[in-house]
Amino acid sequence: MKPVSRRHLDHPPGPEHAVVIGAGIAGLLCAHVLGDAFTHVTIIERDRLTPEPRPRKGVPQGRHAHALQARGHQALERLLPGIGDELAAAGAPSADFCLDGHLHLPYGSPPPLRSDIHIRMVSRPLLETLIRARVLSVPRVHIRDGCAATGLTLSNDRRRITGVRLRPSTAGRASATETLRADLVADATGRGSHLPGWLTDLGLPGVRESTVDARVGYASRTYRAAPALRGDWLALFELPHAPLFSRGAFALRTEGGRLVVSLQGAAGDHPPGDEGGFEAFARSLAGGLYETMRRSEPVTPVVRYAHTANRRRHLHRLAPWPDGLIALGDAVCAFNPIYAQGMTVAALEALVLRDMLTTRGGRLDGMAAEFQRRSARVVSRPWTLATLSDRAWQDQRPPVLVRLGVWYLEQWYKRVPTDPRMFYDIARVTNMTGNPLLLIHPRHVTHIAINALHQSRRSSHTKPSR
């Protein structure tokens, strides 16, 4: 594997220099796309990076279960052809979501169903390492790790971002700040992005944010998986379900014969970080996960993570938006990780950026604002799906339309275990390979309406008990 480059640019950046802040999935894919359009691309990363897969401080969720949704896998293959083969060669298995996965809902589990919805189970460090190696194989792309961005610079006419202010990120050492000039700056620093503050520091308007917080917390542990038994799953999904079922889990068989178990609790009912509490929490679940854990050997301690609020920054509504600046990934919209949407959305945004650069022929005027508008459209559907269920966990009473949406989703959960068509369609929607309008297909609406009518009639004929 090619070692991480720490080469500093020792020449003045020309008019074709792009800077990407953040070497996570979104930043790497963005840099790869920019590498086809710019003479030089510099990735700025606060962490020190290693050539081998290893969890790092800047990705605190990296030790928890990760899976590439079907749409995300397809988008990644379009960006990096052959990456699926590389993942397979590294031992990361692919699974038919409806056949190899076990989906446990409050009203039962649907029988296995062969489908065309394939997900990839892979640890975050391995996925990031393989993508980084591919991106750095392009000579014009370089990484400066151990370096933190501290702000942006603005042109004299206040219309264009002209560069990034940097300093070494070594703790406890005062260091001089330098400025790295660029024709385009991309913020891919994730959930903790400082972009709103940087913009107001430059005198630009404040950024409006929307937050939906189900107060979900995680605890995860990796095991050496026991040999699979007949009928065992490759992936297990048991989602918390408002208002009665606050607990759930997400477990995957990944590379190296590992089993990554992430326990989840909503509304503050978080899994404990000690071994005994972790196992007791797993035993309280209904999907049978504990039996698989009991047959497996733990190889890591329990780690916790609780920064899970859905948070969307409405950058596309900020006017005027300066030229020379784009933002993508969790820096724009961070999802509750329980829905596994973040990496897929980042890959789709990179595809949007690639298409724009191709059609515009290198012209950057007005591109940044247009990208934020197009990115907002990419984000809109997964945001709606992620927040619909999570709003039910919030303390305040949701609006009428939200309550109606939650009720309708509840009817889906009731029918999915016994209706293969509904199971397949909701699997397509949650994996982003199907339009959410599938959920209101006339066939499904009719079945739900008839079932609700029957329930209403049964209730009206039932005498109240004394």
Confidence of residue 459 (pLDDT cuts 50, 70, 90): low
Average pLDDT in the 260-265 region?
A: 96
Question: 30 and 141: one domain?
Answer: yes
Question: 32 and 58: one domain?
Answer: yes
Average pLDDT in the 73-99 region?
A: 96
3-state secondary structure of 421: helix
Residues 213 and 394: beta-carbon distance below 8 Å: yes
Nearest CA among 400, 391, 373, 25 for reference residue 210: 391
Final residue of a structural domain among 271, 286, 305 = 305
Taken in order 347, 348, 350, 355, the sign of the CA dihedral is: positive
pLDDT at 361: 82
Report if residue 106 sits inside a domain: no
d(CA 113, CA 70): 16
Report if residue 296 sits inside a domain: yes
pLDDT at 7: 37
Which of these ranges, 30-34, 212-216, 223-227, 423-427, has the smallest mean pLDDT? 223-227
Whether the pLDDT of residue 61 is over 90: the answer is no
pLDDT at 407: 87
* Alpha carbons within 13 A on the beta-carbon side of 243: 7
Query: What is the radius of gyration, based on Cα positions, of the chain?
Result: 23
Question: 328 and 428: one domain?
Answer: no
Residue with tokens 């107060």: 215
3-state secondary structure of 64: coil
The encoded tokens of residue 107 equal 């009203």
Residues 396 and 216: beta-carbon distance below 8 Å: no
Report if residue 329 sits inside a domain: yes
Establish whether the linkage from the previous residue to 106 is cis, with ω within 30° of 0.
Answer: no
Report if residue 434 sits inside a domain: yes
Average pLDDT in the 18-30 region?
A: 97
Question: 201 and 257: one domain?
Answer: no
Nearest CA among 19, 17, 277, 50 for reference residue 146: 50
Domain count, the chain: 3
Establish whether the linkage from the previous residue to 382 is cis, with ω within 30° of 0.
Answer: no
pLDDT tens digits along 129-156: 999 999 999 899 999 999 999 999 999 9
Count the helices and strands in the chain (H runs, E runs): 13, 21
Report if residue 330 sits inside a domain: yes
**Residue 453 CB coordination number (10 Å):** 10
Final residue of a structural domain among 305, 338, 354 = 305
3-state secondary structure of 269: coil
Question: 334 and 242: one domain?
Answer: no
Domain that holds residue 443: 400-460
Nearest CA among 427, 412, 408 for reference residue 107: 412
Question: 377 and 432: one domain?
Answer: no
Question: 301 and 374: one domain?
Answer: no
Q: For residue 293, what is the domain's CATH number?
A: 3.30.70
Q: What is the mean pLDDT of the chain?
A: 90
Single-letter amino acid code for the residue at 2: K
d(CA 208, CA 315): 8
**Host H or E run for residue 356:** helix 342-360
pLDDT tens digits along 176-234: 789 999 999 999 999 999 999 999 999 988 999 999 999 999 999 999 998 776 668 99
Question: 243 and 365: one domain?
Answer: no
pLDDT at 418: 95
**pLDDT > 90 fraction of the chain, expressed in percent and rounded:** 74
pLDDT at 287: 85
Taken in order 233, 236, 82, 224, the sign of the CA dihedral is: negative
Final residue of a structural domain among 305, 320, 341 = 305
Residues 439 and 399: beta-carbon distance below 8 Å: no
Question: 47 and 26: one domain?
Answer: yes
pLDDT tens digits along 311-326: 999 999 998 899 999 9
pLDDT tens digits along 328-344: 999 999 999 888 899 99
Question: 144 and 174: one domain?
Answer: yes
The pTM score is: 0.91
d(CA 440, CA 448): 10
Q: For residue 340, what is the domain's CATH number?
A: 3.50.50.60
Question: 290 and 318: one domain?
Answer: no
Residue with tokens 């990179």: 350
pLDDT at 373: 97
d(CA 359, CA 356): 5
Question: 296 and 322: one domain?
Answer: no
Report if residue 84 sits inside a domain: no
**pLDDT > 70 fraction of the chain, expressed in percent and rounded:** 92
Report if residue 80 sits inside a domain: no
Which phi and psi (to 5°) does residue 379 adopt? -75, -30
Whether the pLDDT of residue 461 is over 80: the answer is no
pLDDT tens digits along 349-392: 999 999 999 998 878 999 999 999 999 999 999 999 889 888 88
The encoded tokens of residue 57 equal 């401080």
Residues 190 and 343: beta-carbon distance below 8 Å: no
Report if residue 112 sits inside a domain: no
The encoded tokens of residue 4 equal 């991480």
d(CA 129, CA 4): 10
